[in-house]
Structure 1
């Protein structure tokens, strides 16, 4: 359904993932406002053991943008396996990703993100594309990768609540919020915050009505069965369970972040 959003709403089909596997659609778009058709180049940087939902949520939103092209980029176009075993096939490698991007977005993860932080080719690619991108963005611990690439120094940013405080290592200013904006840096909180981030950027790139229509078609009106989605809402017992579970990961993450050469 995501690939047909723009067709259903405004009489045209958004171009997603370089048009791969997209059904060719023709329709009279003469009545479509020019402001609702763009030419954005959008790229998601993925890597082994990334968290798929960090990408899939905003990807759904971005592929509703009429005229935009959404790339899934990795070191090569070989299949990439997420931290839950979901396999994603990149559409571009580092070498053939467009040089100038309107949006670059980095999803997060746990051990996979730490491995990516240690990978010079990944950081070099991110620093290069991020230096020119109109919007430099992330979801969850993807902001640690932005920081490691030297893209958050002096910017307010957020991350998953477990790792948010580590952002100061890269000169960023840790901030709470599901979506944190500072100039052209937009960072989302943990995992599901990618939906909010993606939808908000759709509003920026088009207009509010366009974004509201995308939200309606997605029927995005969350009513979680439990009120435990933030540390403030979760019980003391649940917070302790999560903190205890990730003690070693936080230590490893801090070590990996501190080991990154200053850019």
Structure 2
């Protein structure tokens, strides 16, 4: 462990799904000797998909080097495909980060930056298979760890992701202590929170609608990534 505080750097962006960030952030807040930096282009409040804003703590230019790089998801994760400065920020941070992580469709932003090429990763179930276009191996699990990449699936998996990270950093006992401290003991009123438990036709319809909405962006961004990787002569950016 470094002598300075552990640094978690979160990429914020407009239309972020707030629970993708705030769920893990509640767990991060219990980490020993840890700083959480919320980075965006400027310090203006960033609108979430819930209709309220999160205020960044630093800019992309001034953000310190991450020990853990974290990207939440949301509709805005796909808008990052057209933000070369944000993608460059992720590549730069990813070169020295100990862990590169995401929740939900944040994995697509990492993938567009070239940080998941050749890795197993997960995402929201409705978008998962489109990760293949970036040379990622889609894995339909709640939390996926491949080398120094940890990705969480859909929105609520962010809390499980954060406990997985806590155990990696501080050990199982500390992770259990944090779980007890925040009383994470879910008992949902309905057993309908996974596509494997839902009507297959409903799931199929949602996946088709999602791919119809996002596939053109994914193909365009994955093609640009492939061209960049070819020109650099690298299999991936890290």
* Same fold? TM cut 0.5: yes
Query: Which of the residues 110, 114, 120 maps onto 2:84?
Result: 120
2:218 equivalent to 1:254: yes
1:235 corresponding residue in structure 2 = 199
How far the C-alpha of 1:209 sits from its partner, in A, is 1.4
**May I ask how many residue pairs the two structures share in their alignment?**
226
Q: CA contact under 8 A between 1:40 and 1:68: conserved in structure 2?
A: yes
Separation in structure 1 between the aligned mates of residue 190 and residue 119 of structure 2, nearest angstrom:
33
Separation in structure 2 between the aligned mates of residue 141 and residue 101 of structure 1, nearest angstrom:
20
2:45 equivalent to 1:85: no
Alignment deviations for residues 127-157 of structure 1 (CA, whole Å, 9 cap, x no partner): 1101110000000000011111111111111
2:180 equivalent to 1:216: yes
Alignment deviations for residues 101-151 of structure 1 (CA, whole Å, 9 cap, x no partner): 1101001112x1221111101100011101110000000000011111111
How far the C-alpha of 1:191 sits from its partner, in A, is 0.7
Alignment deviations for residues 18-51 of structure 1 (CA, whole Å, 9 cap, x no partner): xxxxxxxxxxxxxxxxx8x972111110101111
Q: CA contact under 8 A between 1:73 and 1:93: conserved in structure 2?
A: yes
Unaligned runs of 5+ in 2: 230-238
Q: What secondary structure sits across from 1:246 in the alignment?
A: helix
Query: Which of the residues 9, 12, 15 maps onto 1:49?
Result: 15
Separation in structure 1 between the aligned mates of residue 197 and residue 4 of structure 2, nearest angstrom:
40
Pair 1:261–1:153, CA change in 2 (3 A): closer
- Show the 5 A alignment for 1:1-263: 39-98=5-64, 100-110=65-75, 112-240=76-204, 242-243=206-207, 245-262=209-226, 263=229
Q: What secondary structure sits across from 1:261 in the alignment?
A: helix
How far the C-alpha of 1:241 sits from its partner, in A, is 5.2
How far the C-alpha of 1:84 sits from its partner, in A, is 1.9
Q: CA contact under 8 A between 2:127 and 2:211: conserved in structure 1?
A: no
How far the C-alpha of 1:166 sits from its partner, in A, is 1.4
1:11 corresponding residue in structure 2 = none
Unaligned runs of 5+ in 1: 1-34
How far the C-alpha of 1:238 sits from its partner, in A, is 3.6
CA RMSD of aligned residues (A): 1.8
How far the C-alpha of 1:260 sits from its partner, in A, is 3.2
Separation in structure 2 between the aligned mates of residue 240 and residue 215 of structure 1, nearest angstrom:
35
Pair 1:65–1:38, CA change in 2 (3 A): farther
Q: CA contact under 8 A between 2:143 and 2:150: conserved in structure 1?
A: yes
> TM-score normalised to the size of structure 2?
0.89
